[in-house]
Chains A and B, each alone.
Chain A
Amino acid sequence: MTRTVPHRGSGGRVVAALFRFQSLFGLVAVFVVAVVFSPRHDGALLFLDGDNLFNVVRAVSEIGIMAVGMTFVILVGGIDLSVGAVLGLAAVGSAVLMVDSDFGVFAAVAVVLLIGLGFGFLQGLASAVFGIQAFIVTLAGMQIARGLARIWSGGQGVAIAYGDGPGEAPLAFSLLGERTFNGLVPIPALIFAVVAVVAIVFLRTSAFSRHMYAIGGNEQAARLSGVPVTRVKVAVFCICGFLAALAGIVHAGQLNQGSPNDGFGYELDAIAAVVIGGTSLMGGRGSVTGTVAGALLLGVLNNFLGLHGVDPNIQLLVKGLVIVVAAGLQRLRPAG
């Protein structure tokens, strides 16, 4: 049993499986296209070059971590538009705390994660307890987080220099820009993988996730069945804020700076990854597996178009089309 929706009949089962793994098939297709039509250099495929794949995975990690949190929020029928701005706030926070306030790595990371969690908590309260629509709450949250990031950084990007002296960040933080396992896996990708696996296991096994799906499926029925609807919704926003902050820390570590404009528009990429992954924006069905595939698909697509030197504006068009096609395919999906 999985938590996505099963269907009856053998023919129906095949179709259902196709749709359920829609994003995985999409990912494979985009990957194959990227390989086949990859530009070559001395006969070698540039796309499959180690450094290039490294770039793909690194770029995907930040969006991916955010998209996992976004999946949680969307599963209960909500939305969080603030994640990009929270990422910026967290990146600024990491840089300022270590560089200007002489925080150690763990202290800085802990404080920034708590800020993300607290931000999510407040948004959750506003939406679940006071009944303001999540779209509006997090639209406001987006502005607030962005404003806070600008105030905290003085409107400037804060560069992170490493060393032991004052005004320098501990060297340990630069780990985020490195690779592990013989230089094969970038640290951010490792973090993303851990987050994704934990989320997948959590969604499949926990009582809490049963409650999440129930709320997304029919909130009133869930409430009458004893599901603590308010508590679950607040918790889910906390998780999303926490993961956005984590993505912000990773972002700061990769770029060695925290700029208040970081993460601009990332919320849309995160939502796109969730939608391409087959999670219903109405809530109640979807999976993190799909979201991971969706994030990878977007990353591969971006990279492939970039390698061919496609005009960035055209890239936007292509991305938009992919999202529409993915959402359209969801509508064709057999009803439960």
Chain B
Amino acid sequence: MRARSFGLTRLLAGLAVGILSSFAVAATGTADHAKFKELQGPFKSGEEVTAACLACHTEAAKQVMATRHWTWEYVNPDTGQKLGKKTMLNGFCIGDRSNEPFCQSCHIGYGWKDASFDFGDEKKVDCLACHNTGAYRKLAGYAGHPPYERTEFPAKSGKFVEAVDLAKVAQNVGATSRQTCGACHYYGGGGDGVKHGDLDSSLNKPSKELDVHMAVDGLNFSCASCHKTDEHKVAGSRISMTGADPHGAIIRGEKTDRNPATCQACHGDRPHKGGFAHAERLNDHTRTLACQTCHIPEFARGGVPTKMGWDWSTAGKLTPEGKPFQNKDEKGHVIYDSKKGDFILGENVTPDYLWFDGKVSYTQPDTRIDPSKRVEVNSFHGTPGAADARIWPVKTFHGKQPYDTEHLTLLVPHTAVPDDTAFWFNFDWAKALKAGAEATGQPYSGKFDFVETSMLWPITHMVAPKEKALECAQCHADNGRLAGVPGVWMPGRDRSGLLDRLGFGLAGLVLLGVAGHGSLRFLTRNKRAQGKEH
């Protein structure tokens, strides 16, 4: 559960993907679902498809329901914090509560529009969200349902979305793909590439240069190639990551509790080969560095910008006619939106680097903040030099978002559902924040302001080919990439200024001495000659 999604861009892109990929052959197993009489339809709703699926796959819904893809709840095993998309805060669209019909278009269920959703109803599980092979989409605002009839979308836009052909989608089900995972995970934060920086729609058809594992002209990995899934539990989590994995590759059949999504799970912890001494030296670096640090030299490399900054405090400006508007940069990317405020976009971004042991703490809706300084919405743990930590690349995001000036808590605005209080339809912070607070259940004083925040996102996708990995000197230099990272002595970066002054001072004095001696010898050469002639 790496992203949460809002946004229209996702849906438009999703449609394009659906049309383009139009039922690529999914039959690699022993069953052709198109021949199943249960799947001939017609189906009136997603729930009917699910009932058909569960007739054979009897345990599937139970398995899904045990995962955080379903619950959007997660107790962080490292900190005990109750997390999950349901309650977590971020610096992008801020929070899910009160916006469920919109946000829950990325829930793998049907109909989660408010707290009355029945999490125990197996028919509500959306099998197709992950197992479609094209031409399936869930519209924002429909609480996880696909369009069952031709729908004007967005409302009053004059654009229409055709009804999803449920029978056809059901007959063509297959394994998860970059497209199915990406339909939500690329679009977290309200648009393509917004949140992560290393996940965006360019990974649907990546070149080798963009991602050496997922490249369509190469290994063509799906997400699940690494995020190995068992009983619908998908391996890997950005809340509780594997900071260090100092082990060899996992052998097929090996009984292990290790996370199969780490680099080391396949490559082992000493993966560099060949070359005199160089490979072993690189292997020694794995004690200190995450693989990603050298092998993901930049993120947002696929042509899709990621949001590096988002200032909600400027949202709500309207045209003289009272209409919301957007400003775009020279590439056509939105950098101001009346609904959302100002954005700072980044492409080919150099990550920041920090020690990280995989543990993350979050500022929760009830966490007291100190608004006099930038509030860390999340913070990565890790002791410099510790055996369980590595230097990781991260995207550092800077936000500015509403908080309660009396209770000193971050606030969740009600934004996305068309009604009398949602910010995107009324541009009234007071109403939107009050409605949001009612949904989160947090006390709200009615007084608010905006506070600067930051978030960290681990960079772990968009692995470049080895030829594009960092060069030694990009870190082993003054002002290199790891400038200021503590806990490690790096030749080329670190030296004792005192020793250098003493050492070069000594050499300089010696040089001066011999130069003086030599000059004297030169000046007295005649005298010497005379001396010899005595």
Instruction: Report whether chain A binds chain B.
Output: no
B binding-site residues for A, Cβ under 8 Å: none
Give A residues with C-beta under 8 Å from B.
none
